Copies of this chain bind each other. A is one copy, B any other.
């Protein structure tokens, strides 16, 4: 059989590729039928007046893609290709333009999720990353420790000990790309059959992660001391063997768990094997009155507390670095069940953060931000005390990055508070959003006002809008 292959020396694609493409198409279209013998690379080269190596390359490509087969001592044959699934040429990928953030018409957004980045020490961060990216640091581009860089865990450990009273060795710490990933890891370590008690209202994102991992969640009511420990033994929480709590500053209620409640929870955990408390210490850095509340983990004498921290609030959410502190018993389980997972955080980023911590930048940054947020907090509270207090009781102040307003008069529903504010271009967030089962919400109408990402001027403008929206009596 002779192949008439129209070769075009003009076009860019190399000879061997034109031969390869031509034969491939012939086979696809069936013009070259399965089993038919192809000319030898030598013969084809002579016919086409190309070098032998050219035809060899073309055949090799066809071989490797399985269009032809080589039979020792006999030559090349067209392979059997069932057109079970027709192979068309691919249309070019369509790229839809990036969707515009549709403007919500909200001028002042009291979102409780924001943080203030105006004071972020970009120049320092830049300097640190520049110093790390030197050629003799290329080891940093190779795989690192699955738990995270040892030096960084050491730095986090000593920070936690001095600032939060957490007691741990670096090998109890697991660094991961954000709390959601760490909760996935935790569900894997603890086992998916676990029943987890959560404060209600709570941090819904953690709730969603637990469900996604196949865990059961029992919502448990709170009082002003925190999660009702009594409910764990017999009540809504019955059957739970894990309790997820935020003792230093509950989200969204802002409650600080009392020592006694902490002890009750620790006692509950000790009463049975395999019981644990997950302490999410997400924003304990920000407290504007008194000293920070020491972590529950530091009170635990029996290895029943799993401590979770993050740099999302204290540095920035986008750096995606959080960590777990596991008690000994779970450390063993982690190594068995999840020890093979590579770290999810870039080694470079870990080292930038390490420098940031150990060179004192983090502490300076925290102090600066504490002052910044306290300033905004005071402006907000000052404004609220100018009339709002006649209608609302104010909660969750003096810590964290938001306060709660609870309607004492029963004048408005939560939905009305949100809507009427929105009509004035102000974003406030109803407490019901944070309930695992909103129908469990027995609180009077309450909205959250976050202030972290707003300027003092914006806060005042926002309050002015809310005054009108909710017809708050002015100061006499």
A60 on interface, CB distance cutoff 8 Å: yes
Q: Are A260 and B81 in contact (CB under 8 A)?
A: yes
Q: Are B64 and A293 in contact (CB under 8 A)?
A: yes
Q: Are B301 and A88 in contact (CB under 8 A)?
A: yes
- Interface-side segment among A4-12, A124-132, A370-378, A405-413: A124-132
Q: Are A90 and B165 in contact (CB under 8 A)?
A: yes
A367 on interface, CB distance cutoff 8 Å: no
Q: Are B126 and A291 in contact (CB under 8 A)?
A: no
A194 on interface, CB distance cutoff 8 Å: no
If A64-B256, A122-B138 touch, whether A84 touches B341 (CB-CB below 8 Å) is: no
A301 vs B89: C-alpha distance when bound (angstroms): 10
- Which B residues are in CB contact (< 8 Å) with A169? 93-96
A79 vs B91: C-alpha distance when bound (angstroms): 73
Q: Are B60 and A289 in contact (CB under 8 A)?
A: yes
A93 to chain B, nearest CB (A): 4
If A95-B154, A126-B130 touch, whether A85 touches B260 (CB-CB below 8 Å) is: no
- In chain A, positions 285-312 with a C-beta closer than 8 Å to chain B are 289-291, 293, 298-302
Q: Are A319 and B298 in contact (CB under 8 A)?
A: no
Partner of A85, one of B60, B180, B270: B270
If A138-B120, A317-B141, A317-B142 touch, whether A299 touches B79 (CB-CB below 8 Å) is: no
A419 to chain B, nearest CB (A): 25
Which partner residue on chain B sits nearest A61 by CB separation? B290
A67 on interface, CB distance cutoff 8 Å: yes
- In chain A, positions 95-123 with a C-beta closer than 8 Å to chain B are 95-96, 98-99, 115, 117-118, 120, 122
Q: Are A133 and B141 in contact (CB under 8 A)?
A: no
A259 on interface, CB distance cutoff 8 Å: yes
- In chain A, positions 180-236 with a C-beta closer than 8 Å to chain B are 180-181, 184, 188, 192, 205, 208-209, 212-214, 225
Q: Determine how many copies of this chain the complex contains.
A: 2
A289 vs B302: C-alpha distance when bound (angstroms): 61
Q: Are A343 and B320 in contact (CB under 8 A)?
A: yes
- In chain A, positions 9-60 with a C-beta closer than 8 Å to chain B are 17, 20, 57, 60
* 0 or 1 for each of A352-373: is its CB under 8 Å from B? (1 = yes): 0000000000000000000000
- Which B residues are in CB contact (< 8 Å) with A144? 318
If A141-B117, A142-B316 touch, whether A82 touches B260 (CB-CB below 8 Å) is: yes
Q: Are A260 and B157 in contact (CB under 8 A)?
A: no
Partner of A84, one of B83, B88, B264: B264
Partner of A346, one of B20, B138, B181, B349: B349
If A129-B133, A135-B122 touch, whether A298 touches B90 (CB-CB below 8 Å) is: yes
Please list the residues of chain A having a beta carbon within 8 angstroms of any beta carbon in chain B: 17, 20, 57, 60-61, 64-67, 79-88, 90-96, 98-99, 115, 117-118, 120, 122, 125-126, 129-130, 133-135, 137-138, 140-144, 150-151, 154, 157-158, 160-161, 165-171, 177-178, 180-181, 184, 188, 192, 205, 208-209, 212-214, 225, 256-264, 266-267, 270, 289-291, 293, 298-302, 316-320, 337-338, 340-349
Using A188-B212, A344-B344 as known contacts, list a sample of 17 further A-B pairs with CB atoms less than 8 Å apart, ordered by residue number in A.
Answer: A57-B289, A64-B256, A65-B293, A66-B258, A66-B259, A85-B263, A85-B302, A96-B169, A115-B142, A120-B138, A122-B137, A129-B129, A129-B133, A180-B341, A318-B348, A320-B343, A348-B349
Question: 26 interchain pairs (CB within 8 A)?
Answer: A17-B291, A57-B289, A66-B259, A79-B260, A80-B260, A81-B260, A82-B267, A84-B263, A90-B161, A95-B154, A117-B138, A126-B130, A129-B129, A129-B130, A140-B318, A177-B181, A180-B341, A181-B181, A184-B184, A188-B213, A192-B214, A214-B214, A317-B342, A318-B348, A320-B343, A320-B346
